[in-house]
A and B are shown apart, each in its own frame.
Chain A
Amino acid sequence: MYKLNEHSIQRLSDNASIPIDEGNRDYQQFLQDVKVNTISIVEGEDVIAPDYVALRTGVDGYASTGDQLGMIAAGDGSHATHVAAVKTAFPKSNTGSTTVADVPDWVQAAADAVELQENP
């Protein structure tokens, strides 16, 4: 069984990270295995929806410390408004999720293109 990652293929039997590279024999074996056993032995990439903590602290979340100090020093309520806006945008109810994407078409196409090899 294999699982796709963003830049590699994970072989679940030993957690090996296999590069998507024609010169790598494990990648060639992956294609052979798919050809023989069908695409059902491959699981798609995890799609991670970040939780509220990640979102609030991410690029779309709270302003930098310096900017927030500036808001506080201004004393015009802008800091409280900013914090409230971020909390509203990313509520605590958002605990994140992980779903599995479909296996992309290139896997089947690459497996179809490879010739079955016997042990040399």
Chain B
Amino acid sequence: MAGISKVTGGGIADGTLSVADIADDAITADKLANSINTDIATGVTGNTTAGNALPKAGGAMTGAITSNNTISDVDGNVRSGRKNLLINGDFQVSQRGDWSSLTNINTTTTLFVDRWKGHSSAVSSSVQHKTGYPYANDKYIRVEATSSGSGYIRAYQMHDGNLNGKAAIFSAMVKSNSSNARLITHVGNTWTSNDTTAKHTGGGAWEKLTFAYTGGDRDVPLSVIGITGATHGALSISSGDYIEVANVQLELGSVATDFEHRSYGEELALCQRYYQPLCSGNHREYIYNVHRFNRTYSTPMRAVPTFIISHTGSATPTGVDLFNGATTDGSVNSWVIAVSTTSIGLAGGSNSMVDIVITATADAEL
């Protein structure tokens, strides 16, 4: 077929050109309509390469997609699961009790909402578990100074895992009336923060704070939200200074993505590795010298836990002895409490029928 010198009239009708009638590179960019060139120029940047053919409509693209920048969805994030290294970052779980009223903890480090500690230095403080942010039924926490002085107030979580050398980003929604409210963490043996991205304005509104860092060699990293100096030093605190904190996340990488919402059941199971209430069930049994209760934990615990027995039915042990069973990975999966006749006020060797309901807490928190 001779070459086409010019196309006139109605152009080239559908089906006129068959495969390979147009040679490679036969049509150069300046021969395409300007609008097509503009579209290509807009959509293709200098560092983008196509290692594979673009698919036709409805087809799948093969090969990796690479970018020199972030990849965003309509909300500005790419969603993926199991990225939050912190547990109970949205404060759903509170096995240790009801903290819905402001509770004075003075300066004592206090575990309140699961996995979270409230603490203050040199000034007294209160902690509270609140409802209503980001949405009506969502939970958040508040730490408030109740005296003035030079010190700090904070909430923090200690977490398993060494982040040494890893890029990590810590993010949280924070509300405060102090411009010294900030995210801070312990990298190796040094407290660090970022005054540009991780510091609140103090304007009393919710703000998203982020802090990107490279983890140091520390077996038990800390993620802290507090009113404190940039290297966690003391500063002037007034009674009534507060922080409120919601949706706290620590993830690997350098860009803070959207908060990972996990179900209550998932979060509870994660928390139970560190703390869980226990109940033996109701037993009416003969006790002869010693009776041992053997139970399995709901979730294997991080380490052998501390036990506090709170109720024992009609039998009230004055002391208990504790045994624990470990799994091969070091977690602890069962507990045994020995109750003796003498410990419940009966003579040694007595053979007595007693009602026993042992309720206790097992605490293996970091």
B307 lies within 8 A of chain A by Cβ: yes
Report which of A7, A18, A50, A120 forms a contact with B306, defined as CB distance below 8 A: A18
Report which of A15, A27, A57, A119 forms a contact with B349, defined as CB distance below 8 A: A57
Contact check, B364 vs A24: say whether CB atoms are below 8 A apart. yes
A9 to B349, CA, bound (A): 25
Given contact pairs A26-B363, A120-B158, A120-B186, A15 touches B321 in the complex (Cβ within 8 A): no
Contact check, A5 vs B319: say whether CB atoms are below 8 A apart. yes
Chain B hits for A10, CB < 8 A: 319
A51 to B323, CA, bound (A): 26
Interface size class on chain A is 20 to 34
Chain B hits for A48, CB < 8 A: 342, 348
Within 8 A of B (CB), among A4-56: 5-8, 10-11, 14-19, 21, 23-27, 48, 50-51, 53-54, 56
Chain A hits for B323, CB < 8 A: 7
Within 8 A of B (CB), among A48-68: 48, 50-51, 53-54, 56-58
A8 to B302, CA, bound (A): 18
Chain A hits for B158, CB < 8 A: 120
Contact check, B309 vs A58: say whether CB atoms are below 8 A apart. no
- Quick one: closest B residue to A49, CB to CB? B348
Contact check, B365 vs A21: say whether CB atoms are below 8 A apart. no
Q: How many residues of B contact A (CB 8 A)?
A: 33
Min CB distance B159 to A, Å, is 12
Contact check, B349 vs A24: say whether CB atoms are below 8 A apart. no
Report which of A17, A23, A25, A120 forms a contact with B322, defined as CB distance below 8 A: A17
Given contact pairs A7-B323, A119-B119, A15 touches B309 in the complex (Cβ within 8 A): yes
Min CB distance A98 to B, Å, is 9
Contact check, B305 vs A19: say whether CB atoms are below 8 A apart. yes
B346-366: contact bitstring with A at CB < 8 Å (1 yes, 0 no)?
A: 011110000000000001111
A106 to B330, CA, bound (A): 23
B95 lies within 8 A of chain A by Cβ: no
Given contact pairs A15-B309, A21-B303, A6 touches B321 in the complex (Cβ within 8 A): yes
Chain B: residues with CB nearer than 8 A to chain A?
A: 109, 119, 121, 156, 158, 186, 220, 222, 289, 302-309, 319-324, 330, 342, 347-350, 363-366
| Cβ contacts A to B, 9 pairs, < 8 Å | A5-B321, A7-B321, A18-B306, A19-B304, A21-B324, A51-B347, A56-B349, A120-B156, A120-B158
Excluding A15-B308, A23-B330, 17 further A-B contacts by CB distance (< 8 Å) are: A6-B321, A7-B322, A10-B319, A16-B306, A16-B307, A17-B320, A21-B304, A25-B366, A26-B306, A27-B306, A50-B349, A54-B347, A54-B348, A57-B349, A119-B109, A119-B119, A120-B156
